Structure 1
Amino acid sequence: MSDSLEPLRADLKMLATLLLPQATSNPPLDENPLALEPSEEDALRIRAYLILAHSGIEEMMENQILQAVREVVSEPNTAPPAIALSLVAQYADDLKGQNRGKVPGAYDIAGKLAGLYESKVIKPNNGIRRKSVVAMCKPLGLDLDDLAPDIESALTALDTLGAKRGAAAHSLRGATQEVIHAHQARAWVEDALVALGQLLPLLLAKIRRRELIHVAEMS
């Protein structure tokens, strides 16, 4: 998974170089409490960096999950994956509606599941926070509680960047707007990138699982 994140890491490095060249000169607040606030121009650059970096991480997460769903529901002559059953239950009415009210055949169902998941979950999704991850997992029959506490720190890091991005994206100016320094923005993005590298392999393994019940769970 780390190799698949390298293009994203390179893109985020380029963003930082383009958007934070002057802002990075500010020393960390914990080392110099009298550090000057970023200029208005630097503040806008930092906010732009947060928004675009968040978009890159969100896009990577959504694309990886959607690609895995497409792969497992479309593989010919194999046992249906566990997530296919969850998707059929979730979108039963849509599947019949697209087939003039009739229950479609197995091959037709397999061909439509990924498209339904993309249109109803991936495209409307707009974040990387815990609630967005839950929204992507729920139609697949995946429960994040099954991965706890292994993913708790990763979800916290994604929550942090998601919250900072939200504040930056929804207000151009504001008297109470949080002052963000470049080193803080870099740290939030780096933490979220590390979190993505921890979370995605676990989710993708769950998506690709074919057995409905693990042997360990039966004992």
Structure 2
Amino acid sequence: MVNSTILVTVVLVLALRALQWCSGYQHKFIDMIWCKPVALKLQGLIKKRRELHLAQQSTSAQDEYAKWTKLNRQIAQLDTQVKQTQEQLVENRKVGEKNLGKLRLVFFTAPLLVLRFWKGKLPVYALPSGMFPRVVESVLSQGWAAAALAPVRFVWASGTVKPMQVETPVCLAIWLWALSRVLDTSEFVVRSLCM
């Protein structure tokens, strides 16, 4: 059970990071799924406009005025169609971005949040006791709430100090936080070296 929870957590964190790293390709993905017909229509209109523009450029405005004017009107009509299609594409992209955001929330963010709260105190692995100060060990085993409650425990604790455990478990919430920090730092180092 513990191994499957850890595996699911790692997969969700890495998938969410992969989505963040690939955010530059988000518009292409949205175009491919939600905007493909409109994008294809826009490409066709732009290609047709380019052909008409080349035909108009090869036609002399003084010698063949009627043909040149007809091509000019067709280009103007295509310009308005291109503008309308671009507006439609922008609207479809907004819808696609909303839908993609909902999918990301449902499949990645919400499960991670549920795992943090539902299985947050699940021990992932154990460290030898005495390796860290008691406050750090309590945070490792019980999550960030232990750090917030440390002053209360100090004031309300009885006179004798409880014996320390043989091992200090590291809970899933802290392990997930540490994994996120490691990925953030690695990403920062890679970006710093590549720039």
TM-score (norm 2): 0.28
Which structure: greater strand fraction? 2
Identify, as 1 or 2, the structure richer in helix: 2
Relative to the length of structure 1, the TM-score reads: 0.25
Larger Rg: 2
